[in-house]
Amino acid sequence: MAQFRKNLIDGEWVGDAGSRNINPSDTGDVVGEYASAGVDQARQAIAAAKAAFPAWSRSGPLARHAVLKKASDEIMARKDEIGRNLAREEGKTLAEGIGETIRAAQIFDFFAGETLRLSGEVVPSVRPGVGVEITREAVGVVGIITPWNFPIAIPAWKIAPALAHGNTIVFKPAELVPESAWSIVDILHRAGLPKGVLNLVMGKGSVVGQAMLDSPDVNAISFTGSVGTGKRVAAASVEHMRKFQLEMGGKNPLVVLDDADLAVAVDCALNGAFFSTGQRCTASSRLIVTDAIHDRFVDALKERMDKLVIGDALDAQTQIGPVVDATQLKQDEDYIAIGVREGATLAFGGERLDRKTPGFYLKPALLTGATNAMRSSREEIFGPVASVIRVKDYDEALAVANDTPFGLTSGICTSSLKHATHFKRNSEAGMVMVNLPTAGVDFHVPFGGRKGSSYGPREQGRYAMEFYTTVKTAYTFAG
């Protein structure tokens, strides 16, 4: 019997109408059944968060520290179990699922520390006898809307700073990954959060998410997901004059120069393009390679792709799990076909694979002879599909890398200090990697992009404070 998980509203577990969550490695395996909130429950959750805000925002740092630290400890202690469920519901490998769970624990630990580091400034006024204090205050009710591809890390990096800085939360996770979301909320609830401080509303984006966008009582929204939904969040937030932060898609370039260490470049491409089944906003979907290394690079990459073990996410040998669901699988296949129609060559993979259990298995695909004008090079595919774009030199590589509506991450593989330095300064991306995959970031430093990839203040690390607090300047004349 699959578990039935309820929503958390005002400190009570509620809801009955359930939706099922299917394991993409084995569609016969039901991970669980989950309550599906409607508009009324979303409104109740918002009201509960509003009512809980005055007390929580005035709670001392020690109370917040205690909850966040306890949650971090429990997530870490249960990393194998939670990581396994994550791999089961999302399809990333067991190692990746456990790794992501450890990351969530580290994020809660980091923000537990942040509660004890709150600071302000006292500065003299330009007017004699007047003092000025600059402090930060919580924003209010924060709506947190998350995608399916990092089921625990993304909720963690939004919920932890929101709580650390004294906000209350209405959390709406993606429909495909409710188990990880439920676990994190259950842990925080039992860690001692007062009722109403954190509310979970699993359900449809068009219903529950939309109710959050439409509410004047949601003071800020932190959203990660597709560009299309992000634009809706932006438009609705402007309507209500609320703070919002968007993390959206990517079409991240990995530049490989003639002077690159071939083994390093192939490692970066393999990891960046195909690990986590390519379902990362930071995936390297455009491999921009200069002439003299191009053929060696493509041959070596195909050789490594051929050795990848694609299979059930829970098998210890698996390196690439299934695609998350049937819709995403079709999207991946459609983009491969579009690339070929536009003139690229399918140099490797791209076909569905049969495994012991029915699932959404796709052999990672490499398109060569691609140009940057093709749709497959311009639009986010969000699967294990990468295009190789051949260029003559570094200057052309940089121009192609920057010629995209997105700007999340970028990377360069080179042994030239001159080119690495120039690329770091001139790449139009929020995060730049040298001799590293475009995916894979630290939790204590800012995360975010430019152009169509991101909007608003950065997430993670100390920079998260910018979004989850608002600045107050107070003047005092003491006579």
- Residues in touch with ligand NAD (CB under 6 A): 145-150, 172, 174-175, 205-206, 209-210, 213, 224-226, 229, 232, 247-250, 281, 380, 382, 408, 453
* Rounded alpha-carbon distances, angstroms, from residue 396 to 148, 362, 372, 377, 393: 35, 32, 11, 16, 6
Q: CB of 227: closest distance to ligand NAD in angstroms? A: 7
Run of H or E including 431: strand 431-434
Q: CB of 158: closest distance to ligand NAD in angstroms? A: 10
Choose among 3, 4, 32: nearest CA to 16: 4
Q: CB of 176: closest distance to ligand NAD in angstroms? A: 7
- Residue (59 or 226) nearer to ligand NAD, CB: 226
Choose among 65, 147, 148, 153: nearest CA to 103: 153
Helix (H, G, I), strand (E, B) or coil at 449: coil
- Residue (149 or 290) nearer to ligand NAD, CB: 149
Q: CB of 38: closest distance to ligand NAD in angstroms? A: 14
457 neighbors 463 (Cβ within 8 angstroms)? yes
Residue 338 pairs in a beta bridge with: none
Choose among 6, 9, 5: nearest CA to 199: 9
Q: CB of 281: closest distance to ligand NAD in angstroms? A: 3
Q: CB of 282: closest distance to ligand NAD in angstroms? A: 7
Q: Phi first, then psi: what are they for 414, rounded to 5°?
A: -160, 155
- Residue (72 or 245) nearer to ligand NAD, CB: 245
- Residue (44 or 215) nearer to ligand NAD, CB: 215
- Residue (289 or 408) nearer to ligand NAD, CB: 408
Choose among 107, 115, 111: nearest CA to 61: 115
Helix (H, G, I), strand (E, B) or coil at 367: strand
Q: CB of 430: closest distance to ligand NAD in angstroms? A: 9
Number of Cβ within a 10 Å radius of residue 267 = 18
- The DSSP secondary-structure symbol of 464 reads G
The residues assigned a catalytic role are 247
- The DSSP secondary-structure symbol of 193 reads P
Choose among 112, 212, 116, 233: nearest CA to 161: 112
- Residue (293 or 323) nearer to ligand NAD, CB: 323
How many Å apart are CA 205 and CA 211, to the nearest integer? 9
Q: CB of 396: closest distance to ligand NAD in angstroms? A: 26
99 neighbors 125 (Cβ within 8 angstroms)? no
Encoded tokens for 25: 């490695």
How many Å apart are CA 125 and CA 399, to the nearest integer? 48
How many Å apart are CA 459 and CA 283, to the nearest integer? 18
Detail the DSSP E strand segments found in 151-295.
168-172, 198-200, 220-224, 243-247, 252-256, 284-290
Tally the residues of the chain.
479
- Residue (46 or 293) nearer to ligand NAD, CB: 46
- Residue (287 or 408) nearer to ligand NAD, CB: 408
Helix (H, G, I), strand (E, B) or coil at 368: strand
